[in-house]
């Protein structure tokens, strides 16, 4: 009896907390459907009086958010593909093959996990400028094509697969690369899903680097465009801003909802965001 009551209270508290946590998102979606006049009302309204998609139309017609949406997606897909392929290749080699320099490579890659982003930021910028890549999508992709986190995750996963698979492949006469691509890689689905989602998410939300490197509308990504709109001449156009926030947030929320099982499991197993 006492336990059921305690549990009921816990549900109440958790629901209130959930509402508080979700309020900014609710506010964002509801606000994006309101007119400027309604958004300026004091006290604010909750539900839009005359819901309209006008803010979204302006976003895509006047501000070419379609282009930025494409850029964000293209960059995120390339970065994700690169991480999946290259990190799993090195992760497998570190887990199951012996080759010269292996220990040094592992140490060096893991060592960079602790280095703050700002340490590499300026030289990366100098490098991209000197390679003639400033203001290109390539400059938004190349520095993020591989990363230590992916190697760590894939190595841990491949260590968990039995080495007998390798021996069996060799006895069957498969080549070393064939063993990786045809035996080990197809088994790595769950780890690849985790790495893929986390990488896609990080790339989609990446903000500072593209803000500095993307100089013209051709290369803007969604967060860059939204940041510039929110500090530019439209900064008091709240409806436009909230609609922009929706366009940045909602696609990734859908991806998250769809893949949340991998998300949660993957993060829990590696312990790193």
Partner 1 sequence: MAASAPAAAGAPRKPRSRSVTRRNASEARAGLLLATPFLLLFAVFTVWPVLQSMFMSFTDTRITDIRTPFAVNFVAFDNYAQALSDPVFRRAALNTAIFVVVGVPLTMAAGLAAAVALDKGITRFRSVFRMGFYTPVVTSIVAVAVVWRFLLEPDRGLVNNVLAWVGLDGPNWLGDTRTSLLSLIVMAVWRNFGTSMIIFLAGLQAVPWSLHEAAMLDGASPWRRFLNVTLPILRPTLLFVMVTTTIGYLQFFEEPFVMTQGGPLNSTLSASMYTYQQFGFGNYGLAGAMAYLTFLVIVVVTIIQFRITRES
Q: Select the residue interacting with partner 1 from 2, 5, 43, 233 (CB under 8 A).
A: 43
The count of other CB atoms within 10 Å of the CB of residue 39 is: 19
Residues with Cβ < 8 Å from 158, sequence gap 6 or more?
A: 88, 91, 92, 95, 96, 184, 188
**Which CB sits closer to partner 1, 54 or 181?**
181
What distance in Å separates the CA atoms of residue 236 and residue 147, rounded to the nearest whole number?
Answer: 38
Binders of partner 1 among residues 55 to 94 (CB under 8 A) are 82, 85-87, 89-90, 92-94
**Which CB sits closer to partner 1, 1 or 273?**
273
Residue pair 183/92 in contact (Cβ under 8 Å)? The answer is no
Q: Select the residue interacting with partner 1 from 79, 155, 244, 262 (CB under 8 A).
A: 244
What distance in Å separates the CA atoms of residue 37 and residue 49, rounded to the nearest whole number?
Answer: 11
Q: Select the residue interacting with partner 1 from 153, 188, 222, 262 (CB under 8 A).
A: 222
Q: Select the residue interacting with partner 1 from 63, 146, 191, 195 (CB under 8 A).
A: 146
Question: Is there binding between residue 176 and partner 1 (CB under 8 A)?
Answer: yes
Shortest Cβ 25–partner 1 spacing (Å): 7
Question: Is there binding between residue 28 and partner 1 (CB under 8 A)?
Answer: yes
Binders of partner 1 among residues 185 to 204 (CB under 8 A) are 201, 204
Question: Is there binding between residue 4 and partner 1 (CB under 8 A)?
Answer: no
Q: Select the residue interacting with partner 1 from 24, 51, 66, 189 (CB under 8 A).
A: 24
- What's the number of CA atoms in the CB half-sphere (13 Å) around residue 186? 6
Question: Is there binding between residue 16 and partner 1 (CB under 8 A)?
Answer: no
* DSSP per residue, 179-218: IIIIIIHHHTHHHHHHHHHHHHHHHHH--HHHHHH--STT
- Applying CB under 8 A, the span of 60-68, 73-81, 102-110, 187-195 interacting with partner 1 comes to 102-110
Break the chain down into helix, strand, coil percent, rounded to 5: 75, 0, 25
Q: Decide: helix, strand or coil at residue 273.
A: coil
Q: Select the residue interacting with partner 1 from 1, 21, 47, 171 (CB under 8 A).
A: 21
Residue pair 223/210 in contact (Cβ under 8 Å)? The answer is yes
Shortest Cβ 197–partner 1 spacing (Å): 9
**Which CB sits closer to partner 1, 54 or 255?**
255
Question: Is there binding between residue 25 and partner 1 (CB under 8 A)?
Answer: yes
Question: Is there binding between residue 109 and partner 1 (CB under 8 A)?
Answer: yes
DSSP run (H or E) holding 10 = helix 2-32
Question: Is there binding between residue 162 and partner 1 (CB under 8 A)?
Answer: no
**Which CB sits closer to partner 1, 64 or 185?**
185
Long-range pairs for 103-112: beta carbons < 8 A, 24 or more residues apart: 106/155, 109/148, 109/151, 109/152, 110/148, 110/152, 112/148
Shortest Cβ 69–partner 1 spacing (Å): 13
First-to-final CA distance of the chain: 40
């Amino acid at each position: 009896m006492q336990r059921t009551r305690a549990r009921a209270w816990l549900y109440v508290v958790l629901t209130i907390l959930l509402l508080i946590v979700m309020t900014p998102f609710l506010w964002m979606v509801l606000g994006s459907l309101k007119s400027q006049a309604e958004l300026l009302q004091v006290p604010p309204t909750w539900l839009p009086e005359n819901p309209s998609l006008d803010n979204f139309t302006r976003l895509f017609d006047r501000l070419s958010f379609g282009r930025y949406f494409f850029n964000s997606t293209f960059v995120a897909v390339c970065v994700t593909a690169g991480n999946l392929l290259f990190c799993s290749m090195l992760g497998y080699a570190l887990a199951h093959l012996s080759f010269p320099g292996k220990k040094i490579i592992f140490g060096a890659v893991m060592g960079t996990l602790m280095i703050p982003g700002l340490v590499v930021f300026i030289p990366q910028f100098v490098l991209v400028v000197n390679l003639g890549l400033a203001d290109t999508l390539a400059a938004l992709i190349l520095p993020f094509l591989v990363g230590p986190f992916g190697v760590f995750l894939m190595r841990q996963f491949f260590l968990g697969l039995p080495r007998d698979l390798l021996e069996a492949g060799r006895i069957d006469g498969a080549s070393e690369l064939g063993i990786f691509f045809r035996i080990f890689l197809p088994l790595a689905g769950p780890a690849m899903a985790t790495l893929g989602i986390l990488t896609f998410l990080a790339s989609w939300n990446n903000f500072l680097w593209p803000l500095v490197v993307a100089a013209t509308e051709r290369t803007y990504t969604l967060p860059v465009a939204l940041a510039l709109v929110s500090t530019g001449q439209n900064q008091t156009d709240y409806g436009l801003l909230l609609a922009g926030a929706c366009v940045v947030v909602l696609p990734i929320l859908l991806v998250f909802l769809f893949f949340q099982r991998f998300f949660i499991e993957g993060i829990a197993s590696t312990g790193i965001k």
